[in-house]
Amino acid sequence: MWHCLIRALTTLAFLVVIAGCGEAPVRPAEQTHDIPPSWRNLHQADTNLGPAPDFRSWWRAFNDAELDRLVDLALRDNLTLAQAGYRVHAARELAWRTQASFLPNLSVHTIAIPNPTGTASYIQAGPDVAWEIGLFGLSHHSNEVAKGDIGLAEADRQAARVSLVAEVARIYVSMRSAQQRFLLLDQIVQMLQQKLKLTQTRVQQQLATTTELHRAEAELSQAQSMLIDPQSAITQAQHQLAVLLAQTEPDPALSIVATPPTLRDLRIEQTPADLLRTRPEIKRAEQAVLKSAGERGLAWADLFPKLTLHGLLTYSFIEGGKHVGDVDGIFSIGPSIDIPLFDWGQRRAALHAREDELAASLLAYRQAILEGIAETENALALNERLRQRVAQEQITIAALEQSDASMQAALRLGLADGINRADSASALLQAKLQLSQAQEAHSLAFILLYKALGGAPLPAPDAEQ
């Protein structure tokens, strides 16, 4: 008896050892040959650049309390982000289910079978213990697949956070810029109305032609029609923000006109190598590689035998009419072995398919890196071009302000008339309108840059549990 027990324990120890045996884990290479040491389109030689914004709260660089409030509300209430959070929790629950499948499982079974004559029943009942041994890396690769599912869900959740923050900032900046454009256009309309009245007076005094009058009327009509676009943009932005904040009605605070947020020139601290840990698309591709490697390992483990240990304690008796027969019990323990012999190459085909999927996921990982670098480089280049455009528009406004001041002085001295003054003021307002559009584009490029970098706050610690 002792010899049998020793042999059983030795066999069990051997099975436990080889249960973890399998192929070496596959890790996605960091593709260092695809990652440049620095950004090509990053220009930070200017010593007047401000400090780099906090990567996890980059939108605070706008220094706009209302924008900060909207982002906080969106991170708390957004429905898409809440869905992504539930998917992470679901993946974690399923991962535990996978782990538990390779632990001993206890159940109770009952069987009742009537005899052919229908005069009695054979009843069997008792506990049943089953323990599947994950040989040849079966349990290890199953857990790797489950971890990959968790990683994919977490990457999707972080991608949702990145996209959400960027969308809130983009829509808010566009809304405030539309409000500013509406005010500037309204001032232009008022100025052109004055010009039209002056032109009408000059026509009556035969100091101007009807052609000049018609031109003044056309300029006014065109300016009035341009008021429609910013009004529509404001309404659309308010409803878009309401959706992102899971609200049925737009926030009344957004109807209050405010100055659009602007940026000063800031430094960028992130390097291309940082994309590997910050950009959700790359993290997702990495987790897809790990999951594919696990699935390939499972296909490899299917080529080998599977072992399940069973333990059974059964009590049985015969019940006939009002009479219950003697109760008999028996205990049994033993292995269940499934040995693959011949399946027309089905398992080999599955293994080859998983190998191809793993190769494809590795290429997808590399492609995600290249796309991340290209998107960031484009955003950096756009940000620099628009920064230069803003600077040029500011120079233009400075020159027009001096010109307008000279025109006002000439008007006071009687060297210019009201029409000349209206033209000068309209040109200055048009330049301010161009500056507003340039500043909006620059802000949107900044938002696009940090979206490409993967900038967003991480989930709260309690959300990670």
Q: Rounded distance, CA 408 to CA 376, Å?
A: 47
Return the pLDDT at 282: 92
Question: How many CA within 13 A on the CB side of residue 119?
Answer: 3
Higher-scoring residue by pLDDT: 320, 447:
447
What are the pLDDT digits (tens) for 140-156? Answer: 999 999 999 999 999 99
pLDDT at 2: 42
Distances (CA, A) of 93 to 98, 133, 153: 9, 21, 12
Cα–Cα distance between 204 and 195 in angstroms, integer? 14
Q: What is the tens place of the pLDDT at every residue in 163-212?
A: 999 999 999 999 999 999 999 999 889 888 888 888 888 888 877 788 88
Residue with tokens 């500056």, as numbered in its chain = 435
102-155: per-residue pLDDT in tens? 888 888 878 877 767 666 777 778 788 888 888 888 889 999 999 999 999 999
Residues 6+ apart with CB under 8 A from 361: 285, 288, 289, 291, 292
Output the pLDDT for position 93. Answer: 93
Is the model's pLDDT at 15 over the cut of 50? Answer: no
Say whether 318 sits in a helix, a strand or coil: strand
Angle at CA of residue 194, ends 191 and 200, nearest 5°: 140
pLDDT at 35: 84
Token representation of residue 388: 């230069």
Which pLDDT does position 54 carry in this prediction? 84
Per-residue pLDDT tens digits for 337-383 = 888 888 888 889 989 999 999 999 999 999 999 999 999 999 999 98
